[in-house]
Structure 1
């Protein structure tokens, strides 16, 4: 049994975790025992961060202290801003710019000499990373637009502040609440590729900056992050087509084209996060342009009822609705995956802390399939 090959480690248990649990058949996601629906509708992203990092939901005083600490650490150095400007001018991709920013954050880390076993120090470092990511990302986008960065507003929560720094205008309540929910929904999701990458790095007792940078690198791959960008690009293609959106979907599926945002490695039913974002998409549509909501619901209905994908265990995932939600919030399409990273960094940090608390170096093995007993020939005779 020990020699059975499990490509992609599918079905292999490598750790125990108290952080999140997924029931793919029931469409259920929990963070530390709390249903994702309850957290998304009743908590803030800051509360969820506190829950993931500390193991329980904070009191009002604890949340106020925690939020104050996050707020005080939002500012990034002039060197980081200058680098974001250079990368923007060079046409760098946002995920690559974010990867660079995280590495640069460590240059101003006040606890660089902390012992790797000091998990309290690691948590404080993780808090600084989480606080600074929105500032660096928003600055990068502002530079791409030829505009100056907007300083963080200490009176705004993390989600609302990011939208403010991105656009220069304070978001309305619906937009702020919607984005806050999106961050909550993406904060953690078991041992996905980027989380596992962060854990592997953390298992070497490398610092949390290295672990988060590794998570971003894993998330940048198209098989992990980026599906919501693909969804939005399809919706825009539909919008620019001469066909009615239902006709477009029918033609595309008849041609064997895959519609992004359907199917998940874990869920066999509709992703519970997609259900929540569908509600927000509808609410945004009621206050603005409803075509994106109409497109997504029409596609879901057609693929579910006409093509029977749901019966085959292929249902909408979180990316199917997050793409249009972000678009309605005025977020550039190629910023969707960096926003995913902005949220998921909280989960990466939580998993690293949890794993390092009872650490064992992660060291799998591979089955050798190469030649045996090769005869060595000196270079002069080859």
Structure 2
């Protein structure tokens, strides 16, 4: 039941346009992803994640001088390190605490230490966005070490965000291929228009709340298995299949049993997700480097069968886990890595929302009763 002036119900807000945006465009029929006018294929070929963050926040590519200053700020120990009291707090968490729970709590705690916490001006929000982008890899890597009884590894200002994260996870300098692969993965996940977590962040920002609160909202939405956990489920499927020789029969049985196969289909794309091809290529190259391409071989068989039987296409989640696995990253860290990348998009959307704000307040389609008469407690 709705007011006459209210538009018809659109379950899940599917295809509902709620706001103009200059940040990201998805052409679902042609399979194109555009950041601020630039095709993601071109950014993967020529740019870096650091430069993409500047592009998303500022709406243009930086000059050499601007990029050098931006790189210096993102690499500085002052921006990358965690407050000592926050590290002490992490050490008090039960070891069974999931990485996403730690990330959600850690980002909220970071706001208490941020010198611009109460300032919602564009300049302050840009500074906070940069610090969060620099701090999230440190937070994720620190918990990975702490939960296994190892001391956190301090950030290395000589490494880019991708290389520094891999270094802080293992304590070893990563290979150039691993660093490049991870950098590209960060670019590919940096933004994706009004997905669930970005919309959650914008709803929070629209109340004129601060960027840390908006990011926590995004993390909370990303934590759900229908949004951020799909590549984890893909890797669990691959681990069940184990052997490429078993993949064809395994996936056909799963389809016959009506099991949901993660890593396929998308609410917007009607063709293959443009990000998938890059992650497939990189997962294969990493597999060749470590002399184990079995994960990619399994996934290739899954693609062949599912595409033929269901006529749906791979999305970004199908091959990303295989690439992360080849870099030695635990499966339950895949979604925090998603957040490490999407922080660029979330914060860009907060900046855009604050710049031309209107409170987001949709309506519901009421399906309850009307005109009930109150019955005194003694008569119930």
1:325 alignment partner, one of 323, 328, 335: 323
1:279 and 2:281 aligned: yes
Structure 1 residues 224-235: aligned runs within 5 Å:
224-235=227-238
Query: Quick check: 1:195–1:351 contact (8 Å CA) kept in 2?
Result: yes
1:3-59: CA deviation from partner (whole Å, max 9, x where unpaired): 311111111111001111111111110101111111112111000000000011112
Using the TM superposition, give the Cα deviation of residue 181 of structure 1 relative to its aligned residue in structure 2, in angstroms.
0.3
Query: Quick check: 1:262–1:320 contact (8 Å CA) kept in 2?
Result: yes
Instruction: Give ranges in structure 2 of 5+ residues lacking alignment.
Output: none
Which residue matches 1:251? 253
SS in 2 for 1:30: strand
The alignment's TM-score, normalised by the length of structure 1, stands at: 0.94
Using the TM superposition, give the Cα deviation of residue 240 of structure 1 relative to its aligned residue in structure 2, in angstroms.
6.3
Matched residue pairs, number?
Answer: 373
1:108 and 2:113 aligned: yes
Structure 1 residues 196-235: aligned runs within 5 Å:
196-235=199-238
Using the TM superposition, give the Cα deviation of residue 367 of structure 1 relative to its aligned residue in structure 2, in angstroms.
2.5
1:279-301: CA deviation from partner (whole Å, max 9, x where unpaired): 11121122121111111112112
Structure 1 residues 108-187: aligned runs within 5 Å:
108-114=113-119, 116=120, 118-187=121-190
Measured at CA, do residues 236 and 113 of structure 1 come closer, stay the same or move farther in structure 2, by a change above 3 Å?
A: closer
Q: For structure 1, which segment, 363-372 or 7-16, has the greater mean C-alpha deviation from structure 2 after superposition? A: 363-372
1:80 alignment partner, one of 76, 86, 95: 86
RMSD: 1.5
1:54-106: CA deviation from partner (whole Å, max 9, x where unpaired): 0111122211101111222001011211222222x341111010000001101
Query: Quick check: 2:22–2:36 contact (8 Å CA) kept in 1?
Result: yes
1:261 and 2:259 aligned: no
Query: Quick check: 1:84–1:136 contact (8 Å CA) kept in 2?
Result: no
SS in 2 for 1:244: helix
Instruction: Give ranges in structure 1 of 5+ residues lacking alignment.
Output: none
After TM superposition, which residue ranges in structure 1, 4 or more long, deviate above 4 angstroms? none
SS in 2 for 1:14: coil
SS in 2 for 1:272: coil
Which residue matches 1:64? 68
1:50 alignment partner, one of 51, 54, 59: 54
Query: Quick check: 1:80–1:136 contact (8 Å CA) kept in 2?
Result: no
